[in-house]
Structure 1
Amino acid sequence: MKRGKFMEPIPTDLIIEIFSRLPAKSVAGFRTLSKHWASTLRSPGFTELFLTRSSNRPRLLLAAERNGEWLFFSSPQPQNRYEKSSHLDYHTKFSGDVSRYICSYASGLLYFPDLWLSKDASPVICNPITGRYESLPDLMRYRNSRGFLGFDPIGKQFKVLSEAYPFCDQREHHEILTLGTGELSWRSNIISCPAYNRSLSEGICINGVFYYLAQTVGVSSCVIICFDVRSEEFKFIDAECFNDQLDDTSELILVNYEGKLGGINWKYGQAGERRTVELCMWVLEDVEKQEWVKYVYSLPENEVLDSCDFSVAGVTTRGDIVLCMKYTCKLFYVFYFDPERNTLQSVEIQGFGANLEAVGNRGRVYAFVNHVEDLSVDDAKQLKSSISQVKHLCSCCNKVSQPNYHY
């Protein structure tokens, strides 16, 4: 009798369990093997199981930008408070200059208001894990306008909100575009959003509502603009607590704090010869009453954090405030501050590669917390192009060339 002749087939339940633990990119590949696999791996049951698994192991998404090149990595967020190091997984690379307002993140996708992929700049939505993207139609807007990406978790739909002329009642305040609905086109929104002077921050999408900080017209004061992604309705929330940030909002970040809108800023102090770091966090405890609560934290002493440039990346689902070093280097750290325990966990992140770790080639790092893969968001249908197929013009000879995507 030949060995293995009567091997029992692997139970379907076990196969589904195995596939639910794979990266979304691998699942997408297996879907193409046969109609049976496509049907199994696209079923609502498997999609829900995969999302649950992915939500239980959120990742830190890191984008390293250097001279117009964007390299995307991810790393597991710590599952316990004793982890000291983590290794990066490299995903893909985009080559293209961007505007002064970098990008907007929502549910695994990134929106660049202006990205030069080849000859011309255009708004671009991309999946930094798979390298798929979609160039959006250009639109008229004033030069200081921003663009934001929002996600409706019920309808599983992405929408782009772009400022047009928010300060003028006689012109379009905003343009809105819905992804994945056939022909892409911008729709004007004139009257539903009250006029404001300018936006002051990058935004954040929480449970289908997009928030960003803005400055009012006339008497300068801070307000939060709320955009419901599904209904496309706007409203204002008073945010006078941020009025002292009007002159410089570069270090202020809006965060999802346990499902509530929050804002975090920080400042340096001095304790003897040591530099200290103080975090200020405002949390919108009651949306209807527009009540904010302020928390102030002095971070525990940490030799690396006290001497490096860092930015706030966000707040994890377990409530840790994440601080990330601003530039790639050989010893690169991400810090997780637990406000309840007043503890600071340092995690060394390895794997940027020799080029980015070299002193003369440092890249600016942008971090996004709680990155979760959702198979119900089918980027193969919504994002029609692949970065691997982009042709670039050589700056020396002006001839088409394929870029080298090894880092």
Structure 2
Amino acid sequence: MERGRNMEPLPTDLILEIFTRLPSKSVARFRTLSKHWASTLRSPDFKKQFLARSSARPRLLFAVERYQYNEWFFFLSPQPQNRRYEKSLPLDYHTKFRGDVSRYICSYASGLIYFPFVRIIEEEAPLICNPITGMYEVLAVRKYSRSRGFLGFDTIDKQFKVLDFYSILTVGGSGEVNWRTQNVSCDLWYHRCSTAGICINGVLYYLAKTFIEPSFVVVRFDVKSEEFEFIDAACLNDHLEHPSELSLVNFKGKLGMISCNVADACGRRTVELCMWVLEDVETQEWVKYVYTLPHNEILGSCEFKVAGVTVTGDIVLCMKHTCKPYYVFYFNPEKNTLQSVEIHGFGAELESVEDRGEVYAFVDHVEDLSVDDGLQLKSSVSHIKTLCSCCKKVVQHNNIEEKV
């Protein structure tokens, strides 16, 4: 009897259960095997099942910019759950691309990253990419604008939109892609600050300040309805001169702002976090919390930044530059505990002092297959062509499978 002739085929439910445990990149490859697999792995039931399992295992997404070489690297690391902290965690390297990115930093929403301007060949264009699969799409250029834009995600219609001042661009879909201007009635002019925006439950927030009698305001943009609202944020005015010191976070579904204060006390470096939470949008009520972090020798001797707040309420801090050893810190306000977790796997190239990169970390990253389908990203970062600044020749970088 030939081996395997009488083996029963695996049940479909079991096969789908196996696929939910795979990375989205692997699922995308299996979709190309046949029409049957393409249909099965694009079904609403499978997408829902995949998202549920992905949400139960959120990751830390690291975007590393090595600006001296015009390079970006993307890594994923496990994120501690139920406040059970490991002493060290590994990194998974995913994609890399080279492109002359302007001074406007990236914006993150629902697993995708938006770069307001990337120099490709001789043109500057906005670019949106999936840092895990390496797929990207070059967007239409808005005329007469070099301001930074923000990426938002409509959780109902599963649509991404880019907001650049009061101009809006819907990403993906079919038909001609054009910027459209939303008429906004307001009595004062607003100046956008250098802090990144954040999208929470289909609403995009970013910090701005008035030209007349300078004061902070928060611009609230509903991604689905495309309606604007301005929220008074004068409680943050102590940071008017240095708005980049403020980090926007998702604090249990509400908008939060965090600033870090570092001081020397009794020969020790102490770290204080101030967090303002928008408790009520209608009444524009802010509540302030102040936390003095427990002493930590590593945190007390390095440059760090706020990465965000996890769904469990932990405030996450990360070291500003790649190095060895590299640490991420989890502060639990309820228990007043601070845990340091070593992250390893950036590679010797990024960990050297001369070639280190700046780290931008995003908490609670999950993979949503329906988002990938809706956006229809078709190109690969390995196809990006840039113009060499030295010899002015066109260079194509095959980076999708390149190892660090």
Q: Normalised by the shorter chain, which TM-score bucket?
A: over 0.9
Please say if residues 127 and 379 of structure 1, whose CA atoms lie closer than 8 Å, have aligned partners that are also in contact. Answer: no
Whole-Å separation in 2 of the counterparts to 1:241 and 1:60: 30
Give the counterpart of 2:316 among 314, 318, 322: 322
- 1:168 is aligned to none
**Mean Cα deviation higher: 63-72 or 79-88:** 79-88
- 1:240 is aligned to 234
Whole-Å separation in 2 of the counterparts to 1:61 and 1:246: 30
Q: How much does 1:117 deviate?
A: 3.0
- 2:19 is aligned to 19
1:49 counterpart SS class: helix
2:27 counterpart SS class: helix
- 2:157 is aligned to 155
- 1:355 is aligned to 349
Give the counterpart of 2:182 among 186, 189, 195: 189
Give the counterpart of 2:167 among 160, 175, 184: 175
Q: Say if 1:18 and 1:192 are closer, same or farther in 2 by CA, change over 3 A.
A: farther
Give the counterpart of 1:284 among 242, 255, 278: 278
- 2:265 is aligned to 271
Q: Could you tell me the percent identity over the aligned residues? A: 67
- 1:401 is aligned to 395
Give the counterpart of 1:261 among 241, 255, 260: 255
Please say if residues 95 and 117 of structure 1, whose CA atoms lie closer than 8 Å, have aligned partners that are also in contact. Answer: no
1:250 counterpart SS class: helix
Q: Aligned pairs, how many? A: 396
1:29 alignment partner AA:
R
**Mean Cα deviation higher: 180-189 or 325-334:** 180-189
User: After TM superposition, where is structure 1 displaced by more than 4 Å over at least 4 residues in a row?
Assistant: 192-195
- 1:169 is aligned to none
- 2:140 is aligned to 137
1:231 counterpart SS class: coil
**Mean Cα deviation higher: 310-319 or 73-82:** 73-82
- 1:58 is aligned to 58
Q: Say if 1:210 and 1:254 are closer, same or farther in 2 by CA, change over 3 A.
A: same
Please say if residues 76 and 86 of structure 1, whose CA atoms lie closer than 8 Å, have aligned partners that are also in contact. Answer: yes
1:78 alignment partner AA:
P
Structure 2 residue ranges without an equivalent (≥5) = none
Whole-Å separation in 1 of the counterparts to 2:18 and 2:187: 51
- 1:117 is aligned to 120
1:61 counterpart SS class: strand
Q: How much does 1:238 deviate?
A: 1.3
2:78 alignment partner AA:
P
Q: How much does 1:100 deviate?
A: 2.0
Structure 1 residue ranges without an equivalent (≥5) = 164-173
Give the counterpart of 1:299 among 293, 296, 301: 293
Higher relative contact order (CA closer than 8 Å, sequence separation 6+): 2
Whole-Å separation in 1 of the counterparts to 2:246 and 2:99: 26
- 1:251 is aligned to 245
2:367 counterpart SS class: coil
Whole-Å separation in 1 of the counterparts to 2:337 and 2:31: 44
- 1:102 is aligned to 105
1:344 alignment partner AA:
L
Q: Say if 1:382 and 1:4 are closer, same or farther in 2 by CA, change over 3 A.
A: closer
Give the counterpart of 1:202 among 196, 204, 210: 196
Please say if residues 160 and 375 of structure 2, whose CA atoms lie closer than 8 Å, have aligned partners that are also in contact. Answer: no
2:37 alignment partner AA:
W
1:57 counterpart SS class: coil
Whole-Å separation in 2 of the counterparts to 1:380 and 1:238: 35
**Mean Cα deviation higher: 16-25 or 174-183:** 174-183
Offset from partner CA, 1:84-134 (integer Å, 9 cap, x none): 111111111121122222011100111111111333211111111111111
TM-score of the aligned structures, taking structure 2 as reference length? 0.94
1:161 alignment partner AA:
L
